[in-house]
Amino acid sequence: MLSVEALRTLLLRREAVWAVLAGQRPPATAGTLARLRRQWGPDAAAWVLEWLEIQQKAVEKLGPGPWLATQRALQQASDMATAMYKASRFPEAAGIYDVCCGIGADALALRQKGAVVALDCDPAIAALAGENLRSRPGAHPAAVLCLDAARFPLETARAAKPYVHIDPDRRPGTEAGGAGRVIRPEDYSPPLPVVQRWIDAALGAAVKCAPAAPLPPSWRETGQPEWISHRGSVRQQVVWFGGLQHALPAGHHIATRVDRSGCGVSFTGDPTCEEVPRADQPKSLIVDLDGAVRAAGLSVAFAGRWNLETLDGPSGFFTTDQPPEHPLASVYDVLWSGSGGVKQIKRAAAALAVRLQEIKVRGGPQRPEQLRPALADKRTAEGPEATLLIGRRGRGTYAAIARRIDSAE
């Protein structure tokens, strides 16, 4: 466990720390580590080394640095595009509590909408969040408190009629050698009753969950779940309560893709929709739905809205002759379809004189990284790019070589 006292000493000398972070690129050399130990002592040097190691990933996830974080805290932090999208759903000039704020990524976005009080029970993480907030401009003030969410006087929060963002810890015990990431909200920290009290005290609340988290029955009745994807992967499930919910029929889910600026495009629907027709083989177009649509259980609802037929079930590809006019669908023009065997695919690609640059697999045993070397062909190395789509059909697989004509990426 890194020393909090050493951290506080470093933050008093922040200009010197910034100079090190700006001038050094990881991995740190033995000479750099020795110099840091001589300059600040072993405990402080360990903090600086941690910051050096996370800088590249932090900048990719959060934007221009430097950022102060631990490896674990950075992994749990919202990426900045998703954080900005979530903040956009909060009303202007709102009073906002960011509970379990981590290193402050969500608080940074939220304070563009209103004054933020951020809470974290870990003294080191609270100090890092405070520094990340202090070093960046914001439209509204923000304060960080080192405080257990269970001990906060909620009557104070309730009187202020706040809005709340909560990011419970989904990895309790990992730093002490305990079990890894947990999925169910009942296993998060703080405990579910504490989270519920915060929800009940707020005008509106947003609770960040794992994408695969099964929601408690009471949340399924009163909350509005939204799955958010960014840069090709589903980042989080957010359950909205009270005044932060959209005006949708009860039980509807939301699937949203967020771009780099934090703007989102969504599809909403009923996850209990009936099955759509099944096609025996691909038609002229194959449709691949954004991961948020699949995670939200809205593949069938989307397919029904756009008259798509399934090739291999709701988690797989769909097919049609008429492209869906929605940005959460990637559409491919089918050039060839047939068996999922490597020899057949390679032969078809050679006949089409195309290079299989993109490989997508839904449900089949193959993996793109395994297929790519097996499908490499010198004859088509300079050919135009095409996409290989592989799905399961019964006990076997089917394949299609196609050209992307629209993108949900």
pLDDT value for 25: 63
C-alpha torsion sign, points 241, 155, 192, 216: negative
- Output the domain CATH number for residue 131: 3.40.50.150
Contacts of 167 (CB under 8 A, 6+ apart): 76, 78, 98, 99, 100, 101, 102, 106, 208
Whether 350 and 254 map to the same domain: the answer is no
Residue 279 lies in a domain: no
pLDDT value for 309: 96
Residue 275 lies in a domain: no
Domain end call among 245, 269, 293: 269
Whether 340 and 393 map to the same domain: the answer is yes
Whether 107 and 224 map to the same domain: the answer is yes
pLDDT value for 151: 92
d(CA 338, CA 344): 8
The residue to which tokens 């449900």 are assigned:
363
Whether 196 and 55 map to the same domain: the answer is no
The residue to which tokens 């990011």 are assigned:
167
Q: Which one, of 187, 184, 201, lies nearest residue 95 by Cα?
A: 201
Whether 301 and 344 map to the same domain: the answer is yes
pLDDT value for 386: 96
The DSSP result for 199-250, as a single string, is HHHSSEEEEEE-TTPPPPHHHHHH-EEEEEEETTEEEEEEEEEETTS-S--T
H/E stretch holding 198 = helix 192-201
Whether 247 and 290 map to the same domain: the answer is no
Domain count, the chain: 3
Residue 123 lies in a domain: yes
Residue 206 lies in a domain: yes
The residue to which tokens 């006292």 are assigned:
5
Whether 296 and 239 map to the same domain: the answer is no
pLDDT value for 202: 95
Whether 264 and 377 map to the same domain: the answer is no
d(CA 216, CA 405): 40
pLDDT value for 140: 96
User: In 3-state terms, what secondary structure has residue 345?
Assistant: helix
Could you tell me the maximum CA-CA distance found in the chain, to the nearest angstrom?
Answer: 72
pLDDT value for 1: 60
- Output the domain CATH number for residue 312: 3.30.2130
Whether 301 and 383 map to the same domain: the answer is yes
End-to-end CA distance of the chain: 40
Whether 128 and 234 map to the same domain: the answer is yes
User: In 3-state terms, what secondary structure has residue 123?
Assistant: helix
H/E stretch holding 135 = none
Whether 332 and 208 map to the same domain: the answer is no
Domain end call among 24, 50, 68: 68
How confident is the prediction along the chain (409 residues), in pLDDT tens digits per residue?
A: 678 999 988 898 888 888 888 766 666 666 777 888 888 888 988 998 899 999 999 999 999 989 999 999 999 999 999 999 999 999 999 899 999 999 999 999 999 999 999 999 999 999 999 999 999 989 999 999 999 999 998 887 777 789 999 999 986 554 433 445 788 999 999 999 999 999 999 999 999 999 999 999 999 999 999 999 999 999 999 999 999 999 999 999 999 999 999 999 999 999 998 888 999 889 999 999 999 999 999 999 999 999 999 998 889 999 999 999 899 999 999 999 998 889 999 999 999 999 999 999 987 677 888 888 988 888 888 899 999 999 987 778 899 999 999 655 4
Peptide bond into 190 cis (omega under 30): yes
Bridging pattern class, strands 116-120 and 142-146: parallel
Burial call 124-140: b when 16+ CB within 10 Å, e when fewer: bbbbbbbbbbeeeebeb
Domain of residue 302 covers 285-406
Residue 280 lies in a domain: no
Whether 223 and 308 map to the same domain: the answer is no
Residue 315 lies in a domain: yes
- Residue 269 pairs in a beta bridge with 253
pLDDT value for 178: 44
